[in-house]
Structure 1
Amino acid sequence: MPSSPQIFDSAATIADAIISRVGRKIVMALPLGLGKPNHIVNALVHRAMDDPSISLQIFTALTLEVPRPSSDIEKRFMGPVLDRLFEGYPALTYATELHKGTLPPNIQVNEFFMQAGRWLGSPRQQQNYISANYTHALRYVLETKVNVVGQLVAPSPSRQQFSLSCNPDITLDLLDARRAGKADFIFVGETNEELPYMAGGAEVGADEFQLLLDNKELQFPLFAPPREPVSLADHAIGLHVASLIPDGGTLQIGIGSIGDAVGQALVLRHKENDAFQKLMAALDARGNDRRPFREGLYGASEMLVECFIDIIEAGVLKREVEGVLVHGGFFLGSRTLYSRLRNMTPEERARISMVPVAFVNDLHGEEEKKRAARKDARFVNTAMMATLLGAVVSDGLEDGRVVSGVGGQYNFVAQAFALEDARSIITVRATRNKDGKTMSNIVFSYGHTTIPRHLRDIVVTEYGVADLRGKTDGEVIAEMLSIADSRFQDELLEQAKKTGKIASNYEIPEKRRHNTPERLLGAVADAREAGHLPLFPFGSDFTEVEVSLMPALSRLRHATRSDLAKMLLRGGPETDEARRGLERMALAKPEGLKERAYRRIILAALSS
């Protein structure tokens, strides 16, 4: 007979029950991102911190932490935003102690995907990182002899059914492994009524749990990062990508502002096609898929990125596969995403199916059905850099330090080669700013790669599309040079010629010699003025005043010391908009030399 879980209303008592059941050596698996049962995890960590005889190993990914502003000006801007968005969210104690250097050695945290850049300065976490494709994480969890699996879950009113909601990703397969006798662990849940109740495959019975923390007093707001602003370069990348998506095809999108840019471009293509066609001409885009969607797209994406909801509502994502518009392995997003999912009718939510990550990231298992469903697939993911020979750098630095992780990117690139008529599209911003200096993200070579050059396919920057599949090394270099920022093209071409990888008499075509931010701005200025390329295409968690401050603060973030000195001398006019911005930054009535300097610099940045 199925058994009901033991119910607890205290995190401390459920932690004691876990130790009583499995002993003092705890190997605990937690979902990636949002689905962590924070109160349970924190209680166990405190038990292990107080008692060195307890060994606690945590296997997880994407430990979510509230952003930490790096400068005083950034704190003035982001402080109120962070208070507004994250008030009441319980920080994970193991992360806090790791940052302080006070997590004892009897507690070990292994992640296979890190919050981007958060642990670059932590030797301990760099050493404890496990490099893995998302689909391989299940195997590694099982090999650790996991004895506790913990998850945040959405309860049904009867408490007889629970939804894994945001994270069925690996948990469903772990439960299958336990039923098959391949694993022996207790399943521990913590309820959270803010989690959208995703039914179907994400739903499990109460009898799957051994222990359950269920207390209305312990409900907490979900981690909800604000939607990122979409830059002009991001919009240009999104437009190029949108012209590569065939009607009736399959779409996967990765996390970040470029994903929102792709979503906005697809909506523009479908609903305001004349404006989209005009932009394609202005950008000299190579993609031929430019008409509105008749059949529409189907989504098969590791992450249910927020813009999927928007493109469903816009009528872009409308091709159903067995009654489903999009299959996703996990989700994480703004408060708006969670409320939209919660407020859908059960029928609307049923068309968004949360499934094991192995289902979307791989073809194994029901392969014929997957191949039939994933016709004309386009897998869109973002990278940090790409080399002239088409290798892609997405997760780490050449000194070995990990920025984030491989996640599912390799899975989707491999799938693009395994499926007929599928393509991998890697998006890369052509440049980045470091310490006030502009640097190229198209490089000749790099000491670390995420996607090797033998899997090179399509690379997109704001300056265009490089189609690399099946081409020779010389042809690939020519393609990559054509989408590099023109300030770096000569140096890159010279490097390629020195190594003999491109003909010594090769010249970059004149039409590709004008890849500059100024030309890009000119090409899209009318569309920007018309509102087709908004800073926040699908809504924002920021106030109107905060949004108006963002361009100025971006200029300050990228400014050199010399730039800042000039701004300090120049200052700027106190318009009504500027006064509202100063008020928001608590600089309307500055006190002391530092605040007066901040005030002048911000006025200068606002007037630039």
Structure 2
Amino acid sequence: MSQPAHLDSVDAAVDLLLSRIDGPLHVGAPLGLGKPHRLLNALYARIEADASRPLHLYTALSLDPPGGGKGLEARFLKPFAQRHFGDDFPRLAYVQALKRDALPKHVEVEEFYLQSGALLHSKQAQQRYASLNYTHVARALGDRGVNAIVQKVARSADGTHLSLSCNTDLTFDAIDAVVARGLPRPVLVAEVDPELPWLGGDAAVEAGFFDIVVVPPGPYPRLFGLPRQPVNDADYAIGFHASTLVRDGGTLQIGIGALADALCHALALRHTDNDAYRTVLRALGSPAAADAALSPFTQGLYGCSEMINEGFRRLVETGVIKRRVVDDIGLMQRVADDCATADDHARLLREGEYLHGAFYLGSPDLYQWLRDLSVDERRAIGMKRVSAVNELYGGNETLERLQRRDARFFNTCMMATVLGAAVSDALSDGHVVSGVGGQYNFVAMAHALPDARSALLLRATRDAGGRTRSNIVWNYGHTTIPRHLRDVYISEYGIADVRGRSDEDCIAAMLAITDTRFQHELQATAIANGKLRRDAALPARAHRNTPGHLRESLSAFRRSGALPDYPLGSDFTPVEQRLVKALGWLKAATASRGGKLRTVLRASVSAAAQDRESLQRMGLLAPRGLAERLEARLLALALRETSGP
């Protein structure tokens, strides 16, 4: 490999990039953490003012810290964002332009996955969204003729190697796709970030792999940390129900968010305090509570997930993730046949990896954990191409089938129909909330592997416009996963195993995990459309599918701390944790006009505030003027309403 150009200025890197490419720029940038923010901002600033150099940027998940908001939200978010992200965090300039629909005509930004809900109202973002399976993105980049790829990297101590670290997902596949079309290899530009954890193996390349390596001067802004969200009763119930599907010695894939956090907490509790775990299951009425197979993990799990997140850290630390694999078909076959030799086991321990991912993203604690890993622990984590993680058909299918035994793929959806279709990425009018990402990949893989299951997790209801609505519906104007691929759905009220079932049986199973308030209407619709017999009865326990019954079932565990608000740690201070709960209650209570009037009236006649710490944190300890006094009263009411466990 030739030596790259080493630079210490992002502006100099932009100069060199522009000199090496004639005409329009077709630039690829990793999703999430791997974006070189300062380099991209310098490139955008240069191109924004020069219409003679059109820019087409292809990326996904352009992370942007939360904005200021208004009222109480702004009072909470501004201090938190300053502390968590730092005042010097380089917000992506093109994202700010997208939010205002202010990209110049000669600049296009095309994303295949959006930060959830962040760009719902951006016409430019919605129009240039590309609906793609994660594993099809590299092919699309080849079709678009990408001529440059920019990426944030870590650098070895001696400077001879670079690590793609957080994003091995698409870079290699995209280069291969471009070259396979007879096009020149893209110009590769690396921005070194000393804050990025070093990961070796497939993530590491010689410095000469890149054409340009830029090391901007410090100080270096913090890596983007996703704030961990609280886990409520419904989330915990979903997580514990889901955990009963996981087999010892199996394979685990999970998404991100409170539902994944709850699942990982349940799996860790199953391993470290099995009696407590089964007690929670009994309280939830789970038929699996007495299942002998739900004992602590002996073989452990192998993690194979496009995204490595907070939950995997906990599962590694508690000894749940520990089943190792190697890229040797013969050895993995002997393990599957239970005839592995002592040498085989020694090699597994020496060379094996127990966690594979295509990218990682999480809290600052996750990044610190990756930095602090011992050499042996770091060696057990392999960052791979997304084509190697999310599908079976990349050339090593026999090996991957042996490695991914008893696979359980857990992802979330917004809604599901009683006939088994899932709504995960967009609304019925076409507006995109997030993206398909790898969800379809894992659903399809679950059907391709004989002993695998795909479980889509969803909350049974949502509050919108002051009304409670069911997330299990008869029909919807958009679907992400078609009903012919239905497999397992899990709500807080249980598990609906609908793989291979008739429509009648599928509807019955979905009704069993639907909130009681919506079961009869859905049942009547199914009967009216000839999909259920008129004498069809709801399941015997269906009347217990209420938030009140769930709250009562889990209240003792919430009080004891067995089900904490933040099972994987929190980025909020104790005062902020109280405020998060209070502000959530207040948002729900004032969602409708009537609710807002009732809440304001209650606040105006309620007792004086007791939680002075929270009021001080929000700058409302000594309110001035009518507006501030009303905010203080509303907050005090919300704090009292949420002061219990």
TM-score normalized by the length of structure 2: 0.92
Equivalenced residue count is: 606
1:218, distance to aligned residue in structure 2 (A): 6.2
Q: 1:438 aligns with which of 439, 460, 468?
A: 468
Partner of 2:44 in structure 1?
A: 45
Partner of 1:530 in structure 2?
A: 560
Q: Is the 8 A contact 1:567 1:605 kept in 2?
A: no
Report which stretch shifted further, 192-201 or 434-443. Answer: 434-443
Partner of 2:373 in structure 1?
A: 344
Partner of 2:447 in structure 1?
A: 417
Partner of 2:335 in structure 1?
A: none
1:555, distance to aligned residue in structure 2 (A): 0.7
Partner of 1:101 in structure 2?
A: 101
Deviations for 1:527-554, whole angstroms, at most 9, x for unmatched residues? 1111111110011110011112222111
Q: Flag structure 2 segments of 5+ consecutive residues without an equivalent.
A: 327-351
1:575, distance to aligned residue in structure 2 (A): 6.0
1:70, distance to aligned residue in structure 2 (A): 3.7
Deviations for 1:314-362, whole angstroms, at most 9, x for unmatched residues? 1111111121111000011111111110111122111111110111101
Q: Is the 8 A contact 2:609 2:633 kept in 1?
A: no
Report which stretch shifted further, 17-26 or 440-449. Answer: 17-26
Partner of 1:311 in structure 2?
A: 315
Deviations for 1:218-252, whole angstroms, at most 9, x for unmatched residues? 63211112111111111110000011101111000
Q: 1:462 aligns with which of 489, 492, 505?
A: 492
Q: Distance in 2 between matches of 1:70 and 1:459?
A: 35
Partner of 1:267 in structure 2?
A: 268
Partner of 1:570 in structure 2?
A: 602
Superposition pairs for residues 132-281 of structure 1, below 5 Å?
132-177=132-177, 183-217=184-218, 219-281=220-282
CA distance 1:543–1:438, change in 2 (3 Å): same
**Secondary structure, counterpart of 1:245 in structure 2:** coil
Partner of 2:627 in structure 1?
A: 594
> For residue 188 of structure 1, what is the amino acid of its counterpart?
V
1:562, distance to aligned residue in structure 2 (A): 3.0
Q: Is the 8 A contact 1:312 1:318 kept in 2?
A: yes
TM-score normalized by the length of structure 1: 0.97
Instruction: State yes or no: 1:330 paired with 2:359.
Output: yes
Q: 1:503 aligns with which of 518, 527, 533?
A: 533
Q: Distance in 1 between matches of 2:416 and 2:109?
A: 31
Q: Distance in 1 between matches of 2:157 and 2:403?
A: 35
Q: Flag structure 1 segments of 5+ consecutive residues without an equivalent.
A: none
Instruction: State yes or no: 1:358 paired with 2:387.
Output: yes
Q: Distance in 2 between matches of 1:37 and 1:511?
A: 53
Instruction: State yes or no: 1:80 paired with 2:113.
Output: no
Q: Distance in 1 between matches of 2:318 and 2:378?
A: 16
> For residue 273 of structure 1, what is the amino acid of its counterpart?
N
CA distance 1:178–1:158, change in 2 (3 Å): farther
Q: Distance in 1 between matches of 2:488 and 2:406?
A: 14
1:290, distance to aligned residue in structure 2 (A): 2.3
Q: 2:501 aligns with which of 471, 476, 482?
A: 471
Q: Is the 8 A contact 2:146 2:178 kept in 1?
A: no
Q: Distance in 1 between matches of 2:101 and 2:406?
A: 49
Q: Distance in 2 between matches of 1:219 and 1:555?
A: 37
Superposition pairs for residues 116-127 of structure 1, below 5 Å?
116-127=116-127
RMSD: 1.4
1:102, distance to aligned residue in structure 2 (A): 2.4
Q: Distance in 2 between matches of 1:166 and 1:178?
A: 22
Q: Is the 8 A contact 1:458 1:465 kept in 2?
A: yes
> For residue 347 of structure 1, what is the amino acid of its counterpart?
D
> For residue 44 of structure 1, what is the amino acid of its counterpart?
L
Superposition pairs for residues 574-585 of structure 1, below 5 Å?
574=608, 576=610, 578-585=611-618
Instruction: State yes or no: 1:60 paired with 2:59.
Output: yes
> For residue 414 of structure 1, what is the amino acid of its counterpart?
A
Partner of 1:545 in structure 2?
A: 575
> For residue 566 of structure 1, what is the amino acid of its counterpart?
R
Q: Distance in 2 between matches of 1:363 and 1:546?
A: 44
Deviations for 1:60-109, whole angstroms, at most 9, x for unmatched residues? 01111111254311111111111111112101111111222322010100
Report which stretch shifted further, 380-389 or 552-561. Answer: 552-561
**Secondary structure, counterpart of 2:408 in structure 1:** strand
**Secondary structure, counterpart of 2:195 in structure 1:** coil
Partner of 1:290 in structure 2?
A: 294
Q: 2:481 aligns with which of 418, 434, 451?
A: 451
1:466, distance to aligned residue in structure 2 (A): 0.3
Q: Distance in 1 between matches of 2:219 and 2:45?
A: 17
1:182, distance to aligned residue in structure 2 (A): 5.7
Partner of 1:373 in structure 2?
A: 403
Instruction: State yes or no: 1:429 paired with 2:429.
Output: no
Tell me the percent identity. 46
Q: Is the 8 A contact 2:10 2:216 kept in 1?
A: no
Partner of 1:513 in structure 2?
A: 543
Q: Distance in 2 between matches of 1:480 and 1:570?
A: 39
Report which stretch shifted further, 337-346 or 181-190. Answer: 181-190
1:176, distance to aligned residue in structure 2 (A): 4.3
Deviations for 1:256-313, whole angstroms, at most 9, x for unmatched residues? 1111000000011111111111111121224445221111111000101211011111
**Secondary structure, counterpart of 2:14 in structure 1:** helix
**Secondary structure, counterpart of 2:241 in structure 1:** helix
CA distance 1:286–1:137, change in 2 (3 Å): farther
Partner of 1:393 in structure 2?
A: 423
Q: Is the 8 A contact 1:34 1:332 kept in 2?
A: yes
1:40, distance to aligned residue in structure 2 (A): 1.5
> For residue 56 of structure 1, what is the amino acid of its counterpart?
L
Q: Is the 8 A contact 1:85 1:225 kept in 2?
A: no
Q: Distance in 1 between matches of 2:426 and 2:466?
A: 22
Q: Distance in 1 between matches of 2:250 and 2:183?
A: 37
